Every structure is written in C-alpha cells, then in structure tokens.
C-alpha cells in the first residue's frame, strides 16, 4: 500500500486480482495469484520471460480475452469505481468489448494485428474506432488530428497503413488505442524491432500520455529504456507473480534473472564463448561483389561488397528501412541483384534456384511467423531434411536442433500456438538443423528472453566453431559487439566497418 493519503483515497485507474484464469479446454491455469493496481498517470512494468503470462494478463485486463468467452476467470477486474467479480460460473458479469476497450486500450506485440485491414489511409484507420462509436464527424476530425500530432503521424495521414515501416506501424497501433482516450493503456513489447529513433519517439509519446493522466502498463521481457522509467515493477514467471516493488528494490535481484528477463546488468550473451576470428587467408564462404539492387535512381543497395570467412561472425546494423533484410535475401537467391555477383563457397549462385542454394545458406526471417508453415514443431524442423541428409539422419538432426534452442519439450505443439519468442527459436532451429555453410539471421534477438538469448548465443558460437560464416542483422549495438567479430553499418546502400573485435 502506498503511504501517501491521496493515493490511498483515490481509486486506482485499474485493478486486477486474478485467483486463476484458464483457457477453455486447458487443464492447468494460464494465470494464478496475480494482483496489479495502477494509478492514473503512472507507468507500471510487468516483466517476465517467454511464456510467463504477460500477454495473457494484458489481454484479460484489456478485455481481449473475456471471462466466459475465452476462458474461465476467478477474481475481479476494476476500472475506477466499477468492480466486476468473477467466480468462473455462468452468472458472472459479461464484458462488452466495445465499451471496455474505450476505457482500457491494448496494443498487441504484432502491431499489424491491431489494424482493421479495410481502411485505405492512416487517417481513416485512426477514425475507424470513432466511427464505430458514432462520434460526430467534426469531433472525429478534431480527435484524429490531435492523436496524429501526439503520435507523430501527422505527416503520414494519407499513407496506406499496409505500407508503413515497423516503427510507423507501431505508432499507428498505439494511436488507434489512444484515440479512444482510454484511462489505461497496455503496451505489449512496444520497443521490439524499433530502431533508436523509433524508440525515442515512442518514449516521448508515453511521456505525453502519462502527463495527460493515462495509466500506462508496459509488458516486457527486457528491462529496457521504458521499463527503467516505470515506478512499479511486477515480475511474472510461469503464470504467477514472483516479485513486485520499485525498480530499486528489484534491480539485480534473483527474481529478474530466474524469470529470464533481459537487461539491467543481466548479461545475456557470454562473450567468452565466442570462437577466435578466422585467419584472413581462409577462402571466403560468402562473397558479395558490387551488388546493386532497388528501384529508382537511389536504389536500396549500391555497389555493396561483403566477404565472410569460415567461422566469422559479422553483425550488420542500420536504421529501420535501410535495406538490411533486402541484403540478407540476396545470400540465398530469394532476391537477385540488378548488378554484381553473389558467391557462396566460391561458386556464383547466379541461375541456381533458391531451393538449391538453401543447402548452403540458412536464412532466419525477420518475422518468424512468415517462416513457419507446418502442423507441429517437429514437422516444421524436419521440413526438407530427408532430401538434404537422407531419411535416416533427418529425425536425429531435427531433435538435435530442437534441443539446441530449448524446444525439445514442444515437439508436438502447433507452431502458431507458441509464444512469439519460442516461434523465433523454432525458426532458428529450422535453420540450424540444415547446418548451412552460411547463416543469415535477420533480427535474431527480437522478443527473446534471457534463456532464449543464451540459446541463440550458443547456437551461433557452435555454428562458427564448425566453420560456418554467420551474418546477423540487428539494431541492438550492444548485442552486436558482444557476439560478433566485426560490426558493419549499412548506410547509403553500402557497408562500412564501424567496429572490429580486438581493435577497439
């Protein structure tokens, strides 16, 4: 309890008490024994590793997962003075999602999922929620323009929402929740895959909301720049609260580490595990010479050169939209250069189908969901393996790759039902199982908790140790320096070395 008289007398903006919440058809409870209360104008961080129940908690509080409709809730939800009690019985109150979401906004981790998909401009997408609530048109115009200003979208109003960059899309999703003027706003991993500029804009936006009296709840598996500003932390592990208190009380404590939370002095990738850089004399596994690609006079890639030797780990950094993913797609022929040449293990890949280059180059996509298409985790990792290594060895390879990323226990699950961090690890396992000579990893750290980052660091080090060349694209400079031999910046369509291990 807060000691100040004002805080105890004023009702919290929202309070949730969960005795248990279980999804229909599941025997065990997804959440149990959690209490959270947030004051107007306060920032609260709910921290937890992959599968800790953060997202489920956020969705229950926001009415995205409704008691009775999506699962069985025992406990209570309170908004201001309104309190709803749930016993998991048929007589429980029913939440009207339209009315509830006007008071509690939720922005999912996948910002694109927030969009209506039937509006053609940013301005109309913003107005969608107001149209449904029959806000008069003049009032709607006023609120659309004010929200756009608050979220830095004013210059993008006529753009097609489907063509926004990751950072712009995140701000639009936040804006779509904010425009309903909710008392509580829940942000699920808002900084994931945002570059430095996008992160700054989001922090400014949160500051503005806090100043306006909105209670903001951050769901995160990292003690990042936003979480550090929170006044109160709640730590979740295995669906239940294991600790809570001020950042000063919890930082560096055992609860954060055990829960798999990243950051705040919790080093993830042990740099000592990094194999020594290879000799410059070794024949390169991957060579790009004078690559040009892109539409218009500027182009995305212009005269780009890159040489990767066996056992070498190279990190590529650059802002959102600088062409990092485009570059990786040239390695395995998913994209073909307009100019220049790509050589893998000394051979030009020109004219070789992408499916054949895949034997030598493994690509981890930026969105793991784009990479997963099978019915079970095991089938996913096993796809294409029999043809590559023979039916006899395929099963062993698949299980080995799952073990390497810590997913052995999930072999029978459906990939779509895994939390997004485990989806990324599964996508990584599909690449590892093929033991390619070149590993191309697109933002491999995004959304991973501490355990996941350790699996990633081990897998990358092991691949390098057996002689694979690794190229990873990341916006996380600290991670790049901790885990790579060289860091290159993609800037103006070419690569420039910004850091080299041992010469710093």
Q: Which stretch binds other proteins (CB under 8 A): 289-297, 362-370, 405-413, 447-455?
A: 362-370
Residue among 7, 99, 197, 465 that touches other proteins (CB under 8 A): 99
Q: For residues 192 and 189, what is the distance between their CA atoms, to the nearest angstrom?
A: 6
DSSP annotation of 81 reads T
- Identify residues 45-74 at the interface with other proteins (CB under 8 A): 59, 62-65
- Number of Cβ within 10 Å of residue 197's Cβ equals 11
Q: Shortest gap between Cβ of 160 and other proteins (angstroms)?
A: 10
Q: Find out whether 47 and 243 touch, Cβ atoms under 8 Å.
A: no
359 binding other proteins? (CB under 8 A):
yes
Q: Shortest gap between Cβ of 388 and other proteins (angstroms)?
A: 6
390 binding other proteins? (CB under 8 A):
no
176 binding other proteins? (CB under 8 A):
yes
Q: Which stretch binds other proteins (CB under 8 A): 5-13, 35-43, 358-366, 478-486?
A: 358-366
- Number of Cβ within 10 Å of residue 425's Cβ equals 28
Q: For residues 312 and 284, what is the distance between their CA atoms, to the nearest angstrom?
A: 10
- Which residue from 309, 355, 335 is spatially nearest to 442, judged by alpha carbons? 335
Q: Which stretch binds other proteins (CB under 8 A): 29-37, 208-216, 279-287, 369-377?
A: 369-377
334 binding other proteins? (CB under 8 A):
yes
- Which residue from 103, 96, 98 is spatially nearest to 81, judged by alpha carbons? 103
119 binding other proteins? (CB under 8 A):
yes
110 binding other proteins? (CB under 8 A):
yes
Task: Return the axis-axis angle of helices 420-432 and 450-465, rounded to nearest 10°.
Answer: 10
233 binding other proteins? (CB under 8 A):
no
Residue among 2, 120, 246, 348 that touches other proteins (CB under 8 A): 120
Q: For residues 68 and 398, what is the distance between their CA atoms, to the nearest angstrom?
A: 39
Shorter beta-carbon distance to other proteins: residue 21 or 479: 21
Count the residues of the shown chain that bind other proteins, applying the rule CB under 8 A: 66
Q: Which stretch binds other proteins (CB under 8 A): 253-261, 268-276, 365-373, 397-405?
A: 365-373
330 binding other proteins? (CB under 8 A):
no
223 binding other proteins? (CB under 8 A):
no
Residue among 137, 228, 466, 496 that touches other proteins (CB under 8 A): 137
Per-residue H/E/C for 106-170: EECCCHHHHCCCCCCCHHHHHHHHHHHCCCCHHHHHHHHHHHHHHCCCHHHCCCCHHHCCHHHHH
Q: For residues 144 and 146, what is the distance between their CA atoms, to the nearest angstrom?
A: 6
362 binding other proteins? (CB under 8 A):
yes
371 binding other proteins? (CB under 8 A):
yes
- Which residue from 47, 36, 39, 116 is spatially nearest to 77, judged by alpha carbons? 36
The answer to whether the Cα torsion of 325, 264, 62, 9 is positive or negative is: negative
Residue among 82, 85, 131, 350 that touches other proteins (CB under 8 A): 131
Residue among 108, 260, 419, 444 that touches other proteins (CB under 8 A): 108
430 binding other proteins? (CB under 8 A):
yes
Q: For residues 213 and 111, what is the distance between their CA atoms, to the nearest angstrom?
A: 24
What SS3 state is found at 103? coil
**x/- letters, 156..175, toward other proteins (CB under 8 A):** --------------------
Shorter beta-carbon distance to other proteins: residue 55 or 221: 55
Residue among 5, 25, 136, 296 that touches other proteins (CB under 8 A): 136
135 binding other proteins? (CB under 8 A):
yes
Q: Which stretch binds other proteins (CB under 8 A): 43-51, 361-369, 441-449, 486-494?
A: 361-369
**Distance from the Cα of residue 470 to its chain's centroid:** 21
Q: Shortest gap between Cβ of 400 and other proteins (angstroms)?
A: 16
Q: For residues 496 and 419, what is the distance between their CA atoms, to the nearest angstrom?
A: 36
Q: Shortest gap between Cβ of 180 and other proteins (angstroms)?
A: 8
448 binding other proteins? (CB under 8 A):
no
Q: Which stretch binds other proteins (CB under 8 A): 50-58, 224-232, 290-298, 350-358?
A: 350-358
DSSP string, 360-410: TEEEE-SSGGGT--SSSHHHHHHTTHHHHH-HHHHHHHHHHHHHHTT-GGG
CA atoms within 13 A on the CB side of 127: 21
**Distance from the Cα of residue 359 to its chain's centroid:** 28
134 binding other proteins? (CB under 8 A):
yes
Positions in the binding site for other proteins (CB under 8 A): 59, 62-65, 96-99, 101-102, 105-106, 108, 110, 113-121, 123-124, 127-137, 140-141, 144, 176, 180, 332, 334, 353-356, 358-359, 362-363, 365, 370-375, 383-384, 387-388, 416, 430, 434
């Amino acid at each position: 309890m807060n000691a100040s008289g004002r805080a105890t007398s004023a009702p919290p903006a929202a309070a949730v008490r969960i005795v248990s919440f279980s999804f229909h058809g599941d025997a065990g409870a997804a959440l149990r024994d959690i209490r959270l209360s947030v004051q107007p104008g306060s920032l609260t961080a709910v921290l937890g590793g992959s599968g800790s129940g953060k997202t489920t908690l956020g969705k229950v509080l926001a009415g995205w997962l409704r008691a009775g409709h999506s699962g069985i809730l025992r406990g209570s939800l309170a908004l201001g003075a309104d309190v709803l009690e749930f016993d998991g019985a048929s007589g429980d109150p029913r939440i009207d999602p339209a009315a509830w979401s006007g008071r509690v906004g939720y922005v999912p981790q996948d910002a694109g999922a927030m969009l209506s998909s039937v509006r053609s401009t940013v301005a109309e997408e913003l107005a969608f929620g107001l149209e449904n609530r029959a806000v008069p048109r003049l009032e709607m115009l006023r609120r659309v323009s004010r929200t756009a200003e608050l979220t830095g979208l004013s210059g993008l109003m006529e753009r097609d929402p489907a063509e926004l960059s990751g950072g712009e899309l995140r701000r639009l999703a936040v804006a779509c929740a904010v425009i309903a003027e909710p008392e509580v706003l829940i942000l699920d991993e808002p900084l994931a895959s945002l570059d430095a500029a996008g992160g700054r804009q989001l922090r400014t936006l949160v500051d503005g909301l806090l100043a306006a009296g909105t209670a903001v709840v951050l769901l995160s598996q990292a003690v990042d720049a936003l979480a550090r500003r929170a006044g109160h932390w709640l730590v979740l592990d295995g669906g239940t609260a294991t600790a809570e208190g001020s950042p000063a009380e919890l930082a560096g404590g055992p609860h954060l580490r055990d829960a798999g939370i990243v950051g705040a002095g919790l080093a993830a990738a042990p740099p000592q595990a990094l194999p020594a850089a290879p000799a410059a004399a070794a024949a390169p596994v991957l060579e790009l010479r004078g690559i040009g690609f892109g539409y218009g006079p500027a182009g995305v890639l212009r005269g780009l050169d890159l040489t990767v030797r066996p056992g070498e780990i190279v990190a590529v950094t650059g802002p959102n939209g600088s062409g990092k993913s485009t570059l990786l797609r040239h390695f395995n022929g998913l994209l073909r250069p307009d100019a220049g040449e790509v050589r893998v293990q000394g051979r030009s890949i020109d004219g070789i189908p992408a499916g054949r280059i895949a034997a030598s180059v493994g690509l981890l996509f930026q969105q793991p969901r784009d990479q997963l298409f099978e019915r079970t985790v095991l089938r996913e990792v096993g796809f294409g393996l029999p043809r590559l290594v023979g039916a006899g060895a395929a099963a062993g390879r698949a299980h080995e790759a799952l073990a390497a990323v810590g997913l052995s226990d999930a072999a029978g699950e459906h990939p779509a039902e895994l939390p997004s961090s485990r989806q990324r690890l599964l996508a990584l396992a599909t690449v590892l199982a093929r033991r390619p000579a070149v590993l191309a990893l697109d933002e491999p750290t995004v959304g991973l908790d501490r355990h996941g980052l350790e699996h990633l660091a081990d897998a990358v080090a092991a691949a390098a140790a057996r002689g694979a060349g690794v190229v990873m694209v990341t916006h996380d400079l600290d991670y790049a320096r901790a885990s790579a031999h060289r860091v290159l910046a993609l800037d103006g369509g070419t690569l420039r070395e910004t850091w080299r291990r041992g010469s710093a």
